[in-house]
Chains A and B, each alone.
Chain A
Amino acid sequence: MRKGNVMTATQPAAAPGTEVAEQPGATPAPSAGRKPGGDARETLYFALRNPKVVIGSVVVLAFLLLGLLGPLFLRFAPMDYAGPPMAPPSADFPFGTTTFGQDVFAQFVAGLRSTFLVGLLGGGVAAVIGMTIGFVAGYRGGMIDELLNMLTNVVLVIPGFVVLIIINAYLGVRSVPMQALYIGVFSWPWVARAVRAQTLSLRSRDFIDLARLSGVGVGTILRREVAPNMYSYLFMTFVLLFGGSILTAASLDFIGLGPTNAMSLGLMMNQAVQWSALHLGLWWWFIPPGLGITLIVGSLYIMNVGLDEVFNPKLREM
């Protein structure tokens, strides 16, 4: 849920969402005027030559592969009492074992899976809600815009994390997909604001008028004419939501409101603290999960900066 500040140079739209609304001209609509989709090869060309994009995506993909393929090579399940308790990292147990002799590496690999699942689902839900509301509010205007704007502002001010605590505590959210769903439902408002501002500035362009004259429906116009002009921006928004969901889920898991039927990186930290790994000096138990999250989310952010440079030729260091 940490957002806004990590947006990049040409798009201060996320953190200072309010500013953009007043000065639609100040923020150039992303890749406006370019033929959508036609420059995919050019984008790829610059993406592969941008060290930030390359390093960021390599780190994220490496963790993803470890999460997907890792379980095939493991000899123990995450909760199995596999070996001697409190063993430091060794050839048998690359990340050591817990106080109960569980394999930390097995837990880490299983936790990576939940982490990516939460990011994908939570980020996806938030992106769909935020973009839909943003597009409709920005394009339709009038009363609908007022209402949606009100809704956005209310959800924006409610501390989402607090509501998530209540929901998880009462409704007993005990599976990773459900947790992700709820996280998504409370993290869309800044997306809606930013997308609305961008849509407002696109609405009065000639090609939109033309589409309207030809009689196609609102949904089609949004999908075929408005959205393609901000694909790059929407993709970067999704990357931020992905990272934000991971961090929120880790906090919830750490409080003990995480999934009970799955392992997660936040839950690992919860158990490490609960069974006083700090005082026993079992650093191999609590360093990997946090480091994993930091590297995944940090790489996503850095990748986003690189992507910004790819999509905005002005920013490239030439």
Chain B
Amino acid sequence: MRGYLARKTAIYGLTFVVAVTLNWLIPRLMPGDPVQRMVARAAVQHPETIAAMTAYYERTFGLDLPLWQQYLNYWAALFRGDLGTSVWLFPAPVSQVVLDAVPYTLGIMIPAILLSFVIGNSVGAMAARSRWLDNVALPVGYLITAMPYMWLAILLAWGLGVALGWFPVAGGYDFGMVPQWSWAFAGDLLQHWVLPFLSLFLVSLGGWAIGMRNLIIYELESDYANYLSALGAPKRLVRQYAFRNAMLPQITGLALQLGTILGGALVTEIVFAYPGLGKLVLSAIQNQDFFLLQGTLLFVVIGVLLANFVIDIVYVLVDPRTRTGLTGATA
């Protein structure tokens, strides 16, 4: 078990370094010189002024240092929690802006992921080997999985929001309200939460159901299932064993899907103008606020890595083979 977790930690550490390096490198590959652009924006003609301004900006952003030193400075700032200053929400620090938005994103993601995982897997397990349910659930499941996240969000916003008027379609809370600890505000928050949550939940549902159905069929064909049936074990018991075995790959699948679900959460938030990370990404892009964009995305990467680690620990709890050092799961 220690070997397993150590191996995982090594991979996540390496991934983190790669992600941070990419985050540092990509802006430096950008065509054009950002300092030149800022100087040009000031619209001065005098060559001495231009030289002075260029030197000033380069010193301010640390661009006059050699590249390796810029890279080290980037890491140092990162460990101080300093992600720069937002240009769009000047002078708010990026880390503060991001931290304010995170609860909204987690608030729709965590319930959507957990509920879709539990319900999807149960539906899939029921559908396996039951012809009627299978014929309905399978095509529906595939179509739901094929839906772009934002399209389902748009349909829900239009149908349940605009046309029927059941739920508000924009924002995290009513524009007339001030965030506070009160029942009225909590109720309002909940109302705005329903549609983004529902959208994310529904798109994730189909994939889990299909995956579970396929895995159960596969498990029911295996030797241990045949042996149990031959012994005369009731069907329910055999299916229960199949379900428990099929659960392991599904948990691995959950770890692999995290990045995708997160991307889905970002676009879903954009449809509903929900004040989470997705909306930050959009505002950052529209306002050319690259500090905010990078900070937000770095935060997302760290979140995904942590979540992966949590899933690994769950895996150790669920799969006894990883504990006893048998070949349960490699990296």
Residues of A with Cβ closer than 8 Å to B?
1-10, 12, 15-19, 21-22, 26, 149-150, 153-154, 156-163, 165-167, 169-172, 190, 243, 247-248, 250-251, 254-257, 266, 269, 272-273, 278-279, 281, 283, 286-287, 289-291, 293-298, 300-302, 305
Report Cα–Cα, A161/B281, bound state, in Å: 12
Contact of A170 among B19, B27, B249 (CB under 8 A): B27
Report Cα–Cα, A152/B26, bound state, in Å: 21
Is B157 an interface residue, CB under 8 A from the partner? yes
Interface segment among B51-59, B67-75, B178-186, B203-211: the answer is B203-211
> Could you tell me the dominant secondary structure of chain B's interface residues?
helix
Inter-subunit contact A294/B158 (CB<8 Å): no
Interface segment among B42-50, B77-85, B106-114, B250-258: the answer is B250-258
Inter-subunit contact A301/B146 (CB<8 Å): yes
Known: A9-B217, A247-B148. A154 touches B11 (CB 8 A): yes
Inter-subunit contact B146/A256 (CB<8 Å): no
Q: Closest A-chain residue to B303, C-beta based?
A: A159
Report Cα–Cα, A257/B281, bound state, in Å: 11
Report Cα–Cα, A281/B143, bound state, in Å: 25
Inter-subunit contact B26/A166 (CB<8 Å): yes
Inter-subunit contact B149/A15 (CB<8 Å): no
B18 / chain A contacts, CB cutoff of 8 Å? 154, 158
Contact of B146 among A21, A150, A167, A298 (CB under 8 A): A298
B30 / chain A contacts, CB cutoff of 8 Å? 170-172
From residue 147 to 184 of chain B, which have CB atoms closer than 8 A to chain A? 147-152, 154-155, 157-158, 161-163, 169
Q: Tell me the minimal C-beta distance from A186 to chain B in angstroms.
A: 9
Q: Closest B-chain residue to A55, C-beta based?
A: B139
Report Cα–Cα, A183/B11, bound state, in Å: 23
Inter-subunit contact B210/A5 (CB<8 Å): yes
Report Cα–Cα, A302/B145, bound state, in Å: 11
Known: A165-B281, A278-B154, A294-B147. A6 touches B142 (CB 8 A): yes
By Cβ-Cβ distance, the 7 closest A-B pairs, closest first, are A16-B249, A290-B151, A159-B259, A161-B263, A298-B146, A5-B207, A297-B146
Is B231 an interface residue, CB under 8 A from the partner? no
What number of A-B contacts does a CB cutoff of 8 Å give? Answer: 226
Contact of A279 among B162, B249, B253, B297 (CB under 8 A): B162
Interface segment among B88-96, B232-240, B286-294: the answer is B286-294
Known: A256-B285, A293-B146, A294-B143. A19 touches B154 (CB 8 A): no
Report Cα–Cα, A286/B146, bound state, in Å: 17
B157 / chain A contacts, CB cutoff of 8 Å? 278
Inter-subunit contact B142/A298 (CB<8 Å): yes
Inter-subunit contact B257/A166 (CB<8 Å): no
Q: Tell me the minimal C-beta distance from B324 to chain A in angstroms.
A: 14
Report Cα–Cα, A302/B140, bound state, in Å: 10
Inter-subunit contact B282/A170 (CB<8 Å): no
Inter-subunit contact B31/A266 (CB<8 Å): no
Q: Closest B-chain residue to A247, C-beta based?
A: B148
Mask, B274-307, CB within 8 Å of A = 1, is 0000000110011000100110010011001100
Is B60 an interface residue, CB under 8 A from the partner? no
Known: A171-B29, A278-B158, A298-B143. A157 touches B148 (CB 8 A): no
B76 / chain A contacts, CB cutoff of 8 Å? none
A6 / chain B contacts, CB cutoff of 8 Å? 142, 145, 207, 210-211
A291 / chain B contacts, CB cutoff of 8 Å? 151
Mask, B238-271, CB within 8 Å of A = 1, is 0000000000111011001111101110110011
Report Cα–Cα, A172/B301, bound state, in Å: 22
With contacts A153-B331, A166-B293, A251-B267 known, what are 6 further pairs, Cβ within 8 A? A1-B259, A22-B328, A157-B12, A157-B308, A158-B259, A171-B26
